[in-house]
Amino acid sequence: MKIFDSATHEVRDFVPVTPGKVGLYLCGPTVQGAPHLGHLRAALNFDVLVRWLRRRGYAVTYVRNVTDIDDKILAKSAAAGVPWWELAAHFEREFDFAYRALNTLPPTVTPHATGHIPQQIALIERLLERGHAYSDTNGNVYFSVTSLPDYGALTNQPVSELVSTEDESQIDTATEVGKRDPRDFALWKAAKDDEPSDAAWDAPWGRGRPGWHLECSAMSQAYLGDTFDIHGGGLDLRFPHHENEMAQSHGAGWGFARYWMHNAWLTLKGEKMSKSVGNVVGVRRLLEDWNPAVVRMSVVTTHYRTNLEYSEDSLKQAALLWDKFTSFLQQVPRSVPAGAGAPEVCNIYGDVEPDLARQRELTAVELPDDFVAALDDDLNVPGALPALHRALKTGKAALNSGDTSGAQQAALQLRAMLDVFGLDPHDPAWVASVSATETPGTAPSPTDTPNDSLTSLVTALLQQRAEAKAQRDWGRADAIRDLLQTHVAPVVDTPAGVQCGSVTFS
E strands along 112-270, which residues?
A: 133-135, 141-143, 185-190, 208-210, 227-234, 256-263, 266-268
Asked if residue 428 and residue 484 are part of one domain, the reply reads no
Q: Say if strands 141-143 and 133-135 run parallel, antiparallel, or are unpaired.
A: antiparallel
- Say yes or no to pLDDT of 437 above 70: no
- Say yes or no to pLDDT of 293 above 60: yes
Q: Give the least confident one: 57-61, 211-215, 392-396, 428-432.
A: 428-432
pLDDT at residue 321 in the model: 96
8 A C-beta contact, residue 421 and residue 300 = yes
Average pLDDT, the chain: 87
**Listed residue (443, 368, 455, 372) closest to 412, CA to CA:** 368
- β-pair partners for 503: 500
pLDDT at residue 347 in the model: 46
Cis status of the peptide bond prior to 240, with omega within 30 of 0 = yes
Query: Does the annotation place 275 within a ligand binding site?
Result: yes
Does residue 444 fall inside a structural domain? no
CA dihedral 222, 228, 229, 231 (to 10 degrees): 50
pLDDT at residue 215 in the model: 97
Query: Does the annotation place 216 within a ligand binding site?
Result: yes
Query: What is the side-by-side strand order in the sheet with 271-272?
Result: 271-272, 266-268, 308-309
**Residues contacting residue 254 through CB under 8 Å, at least 6 positions apart:** 217, 221, 226, 227
8 A C-beta contact, residue 321 and residue 297 = yes
pLDDT at residue 443 in the model: 32
Asked if residue 467 and residue 387 are part of one domain, the reply reads no
Secondary structure letter of residue 241 according to DSSP? I
pTM of the complete model: 0.81
**Phi, psi at residue 495, to the nearest 5°?**
-60, -30
Does residue 439 fall inside a structural domain? no
Alpha helices by DSSP H, listed for 332-451, are: 356-363, 369-376, 381-400, 404-420, 431-434
Does residue 34 fall inside a structural domain? yes
What is the rounded distance in angstroms from the CA atom of residue 169 to the CA atom of residue 431? 42
pLDDT at residue 468 in the model: 76
Name the region of 36 (left: φ>0; alpha: ψ -120 to 50; beta: rest).
beta
**Residues contacting residue 307 through CB under 8 Å, at least 6 positions apart:** 264, 265, 266, 267
Among residues 434, 465, 496, which one ends one of the domains?
434
Helix (H), strand (E) at residue 100: helix 84-101
Asked if residue 459 and residue 488 are part of one domain, the reply reads yes
Per cent of the chain over pLDDT 90 is 69
Query: Does the annotation place 500 within a ligand binding site?
Result: no
Average pLDDT on 395-419 reads 95
**Residues contacting residue 449 through CB under 8 Å, at least 6 positions apart:** none
Asked if residue 468 and residue 359 are part of one domain, the reply reads no
3-class DSSP state for residue 372? helix
pLDDT at residue 363 in the model: 87
pLDDT at residue 165 in the model: 66
Most confident option among 161-165, 342-346, 349-353: 161-165
Q: Give the least confident one: 42-56, 173-187, 328-342, 346-360.
A: 346-360
Does residue 294 fall inside a structural domain? no
pLDDT at residue 323 in the model: 95
162-167: long-range pairs with CB below 8 Å, 24+: 164/240, 165/240, 165/243, 165/244, 166/240, 167/212, 167/240, 167/241
**Phi, psi at residue 282, to the nearest 5°?**
-65, 145
Range of the domain at 469: 452-505
Asked if residue 257 and residue 327 are part of one domain, the reply reads no
Asked if residue 483 and residue 379 are part of one domain, the reply reads no
Positive or negative, the CA dihedral 231, 235, 236, 239 is positive
Among residues 434, 460, 478, which one ends one of the domains?
434
CATH number, residue 391: 1.20.120
pLDDT: is 468 or 307 the higher one?
Answer: 307
What is the rounded distance in angstroms from the CA atom of residue 319 to the CA atom of residue 302? 15
**Phi, psi at residue 9, to the nearest 5°?**
60, 40
Q: Give the least confident one: 10-24, 108-122, 283-297, 339-353.
A: 339-353
pLDDT in tens, 451-492: 444 666 777 778 878 877 777 777 677 777 767 766 677 777
Asked if residue 368 and residue 227 are part of one domain, the reply reads no
Q: Please give the full DSSP string across 251-292, using - where no structure is assigned.
A: HTT--EEEEEEEE--EEETTEE--TTTT---BHHHHHHHS-H
pLDDT at residue 269 in the model: 82
- Say yes or no to pLDDT of 176 above 90: no
Domain count, the chain: 3
CATH number, residue 251: 3.40.50.620
Does residue 283 fall inside a structural domain? no
Asked if residue 117 and residue 154 are part of one domain, the reply reads yes
pLDDT: is 168 or 127 the higher one?
Answer: 127
pLDDT at residue 169 in the model: 62
pLDDT in tens, 217-275: 999 999 999 999 999 999 999 999 999 999 999 999 999 999 999 999 998 888 877 77
CA dihedral 395, 396, 399, 401 (to 10 degrees): -110
pLDDT at residue 506 in the model: 72
**Listed residue (332, 350, 111) closest to 218, CA to CA:** 111
pLDDT at residue 339 in the model: 42
- β-pair partners for 272: 267
pLDDT in tens, 350-398: 444 457 788 888 988 999 999 999 999 999 999 999 999 999 999 999 9
Asked if residue 333 and residue 462 are part of one domain, the reply reads no
Does residue 273 fall inside a structural domain? no
Secondary structure letter of residue 67 according to DSSP? B
Asked if residue 461 and residue 410 are part of one domain, the reply reads no
pLDDT band of 441, cuts 50, 70, 90: very low
Asked if residue 191 and residue 330 are part of one domain, the reply reads no
pLDDT at residue 475 in the model: 66
**Listed residue (292, 299, 304, 303) closest to 314, CA to CA:** 299
Q: Give the least confident one: 320-324, 442-446, 488-492.
A: 442-446
Query: Does the annotation place 487 within a ligand binding site?
Result: no
The C-alpha R_g of the chain, in whole angstroms, comes to: 25
Does residue 108 fall inside a structural domain? yes
pLDDT at residue 434 in the model: 54
8 A C-beta contact, residue 69 and residue 21 = no
- Say yes or no to pLDDT of 32 above 70: yes
Asked if residue 191 and residue 111 are part of one domain, the reply reads yes
pLDDT in tens, 494-505: 667 787 877 777
Query: How many other C-beta atoms can be found within 10 angstroms of the C-beta atom of residue 359?
Result: 22
What is the rounded distance in angstroms from the CA atom of residue 506 to the CA atom of residue 497? 4
8 A C-beta contact, residue 226 and residue 194 = no
Query: Does the annotation place 241 within a ligand binding site?
Result: yes
Does residue 301 fall inside a structural domain? no
8 A C-beta contact, residue 409 and residue 419 = no
